[in-house]
Amino acid sequence: MLSYSRRMSKPDLNLLATLDVLLSEGSVARAAKRLRLSPSAMSRALARLREATGDPLLVRAGRGLVPTPRALELGERVGRLVEEAEAVLRPQEKLDLKRLKRTFVLRTSDGFVENFGPDLIARVGEEAPSVRLCFVPKPDRGSGPLREATVDLETGVVGEATSPEVRTQALFRDRFVGVVRMGHPLCEGEVTPARYAAGRHVLVSRRGFDKGPLDEALEALGLEREIVTIVGGFAAALALARASDLIASVPERHTGALRAGMHSFPLPVFTREITVSMLWHPRLDADPAHRWLRGCVREVCAKQRAG
């Protein structure tokens, strides 16, 4: 009986390639020649294989060797394992987009899908017909989904909540604009800080805050705006502004499609521009398919201008 330590020892995976050759050749001498080993070294390898599997594997029949039932059972499996191992250690083949089958999960800020989604889907569909894009909402800026591999790519503003291990690349710069329905009083004349502050506003805040950078800018001028409602995304803010006299303040390029048919105007107070980036985990940095996807996102965002 094998000792406990021997039964628990790890097998030598190098023996898989040796077993594959022995079973395909059915001869110690031919297997030794193919692997460039001496006959005695091959005989020792066969002895180790017999010990590891607990089976003779090859037994003498006349002048040759024939495989045992166990060897026949192992033959196909061993061949597949060796092929897979060789594929792992082989340089990756050139990416064939027409044959690529993959689903990429993209976590995007509100408005990205409506504005950039159609062009991105068309671009991906033209180059890689079997690739599917799955867009999921982005309720926060945490990097957990990228780290946990539930998300392949993310778009948004890099901030303190972004993990330092995450790779980032800028897509475009954006500025906030005011948006109202057609026929709103702010469609006519100069929009001064006082006129802007005097209106009724919808504030976008994913965390439900009742103030933002715009309010700080107005306070510096001695002004305060009336915030009637708070919503979690730009799409909701624009939908409310479209159907009422509320004023929405949203990023210009990020919401171009959502603002169609509405009146937009430069904000009358200073606000900093934002940089919208794409983010991904380092494990996908060298993946050819992921690199191709990043290129598609980058080019679609660069091509599309603010509406």
The model's confidence at residue 7, banded by pLDDT at 50, 70 and 90, is very low
212 in a structural domain = yes
Q: What is the mean pLDDT of residues 184-196?
A: 96
Same domain, 244 and 267: yes
117 in a structural domain = yes
User: Residue 305 above 50 pLDDT?
Assistant: yes
Question: What total of structural domains would you count in the chain?
Answer: 3
Compute CA distances 36 → 21, 30, 43, 299, whole Å: 12, 10, 13, 52
Same domain, 267 and 294: no
Q: Where is mean pLDDT largest: 39-48, 162-171, 177-186? A: 177-186
pLDDT for 301 equals 94
Across the chain, where does the E strand assignment appear?
58-61, 64-67, 102-108, 131-137, 153-157, 167-174, 176-180, 200-204, 226-231, 247-251, 263-266, 274-280
95 in a structural domain = no
Same domain, 210 and 168: no
What rounded mean pLDDT belongs to the chain?
88
Pick the last residue of a domain from 20, 55, 89: 89
Q: What is the pLDDT of residues 80-106, one digit of tens each?
A: 777 777 666 666 668 899 999 999 999
At 31 the three-state DSSP class reads helix
Q: What is the pLDDT of residues 125-155, one digit of tens each?
A: 999 999 999 999 887 778 889 988 899 999 9
Question: In the block, which residue shows the tokens 């006959």?
Answer: 39
Pick the last residue of a domain from 57, 89, 121: 89
Q: How far apart are CA 166 and CA 281, in angstroms?
A: 5
User: Residue 172 above 90 pLDDT?
Assistant: yes
pLDDT for 9 equals 58
282 in a structural domain = yes
Pick the last residue of a domain from 65, 89, 113: 89
The answer to whether the beta carbons of residues 264 and 179 sit under 8 Å apart is yes
pLDDT for 118 equals 95
Same domain, 170 and 181: no
Same domain, 267 and 190: yes
Q: How far apart are CA 291 and CA 231, in angstroms?
A: 35
Same domain, 194 and 168: no
Q: What tokens appear for 254 in the block?
A: 């990020």
The answer to whether the beta carbons of residues 265 and 186 sit under 8 Å apart is yes
In single-letter form, the type of residue at position 179 comes to V
pLDDT for 184 equals 97
Q: How far apart are CA 120 and CA 252, in angstroms?
A: 19
Same domain, 182 and 156: no
pLDDT for 4 equals 35
146 in a structural domain = yes
In single-letter form, the type of residue at position 118 comes to P
Q: What is the mean pLDDT of residues 57-76?
A: 82
pLDDT for 6 equals 44
Same domain, 151 and 285: yes
User: Residue 255 above 80 pLDDT?
Assistant: yes
The answer to whether the beta carbons of residues 304 and 116 sit under 8 Å apart is yes
Q: How far apart are CA 263 and CA 261, in angstroms?
A: 7
9 in a structural domain = yes
User: Residue 10 above 80 pLDDT?
Assistant: no
Instruction: Give 219-287 as a DSSP string.
Output: HHTT---EEEEEESSHHHHHHHHHTSS-EEEEETGGGTTTTTTSEEEE-SS----EEEEEEE-GGGTT-
| CB contact set of 186 (below 8 Å; sequence gap of 6+) | 178, 180, 195, 196, 199, 247, 263, 265
Q: How far apart are CA 22 and CA 71, in angstroms?
A: 10
User: Residue 291 above 50 pLDDT?
Assistant: yes
Least confident of 78-87, 114-123, 184-193: 78-87
Give the range of the structural domain holding residue 233, as residue numbers without chain letter: 176-272
User: Residue 161 above 70 pLDDT?
Assistant: yes
94 in a structural domain = no
Q: Where is mean pLDDT largest: 106-110, 210-214, 295-299? A: 295-299
For residue 86, count CB atoms less than 10 angstroms from its CB and return exposed for 0-12, middle for 13-18, buried for 19 or more: exposed
Same domain, 120 and 261: no
**CATH at residue 195:** 3.40.190.10
**CATH at residue 18:** 1.10.10.10
The answer to whether the beta carbons of residues 237 and 248 sit under 8 Å apart is yes
96 in a structural domain = no
pLDDT for 36 equals 87
Same domain, 207 and 71: no
pLDDT for 93 equals 64
| CB contact set of 307 (below 8 Å; sequence gap of 6+) | 115, 256, 257, 259, 260
pTM exceeding 0.75: no
Same domain, 208 and 243: yes
Same domain, 125 and 236: no
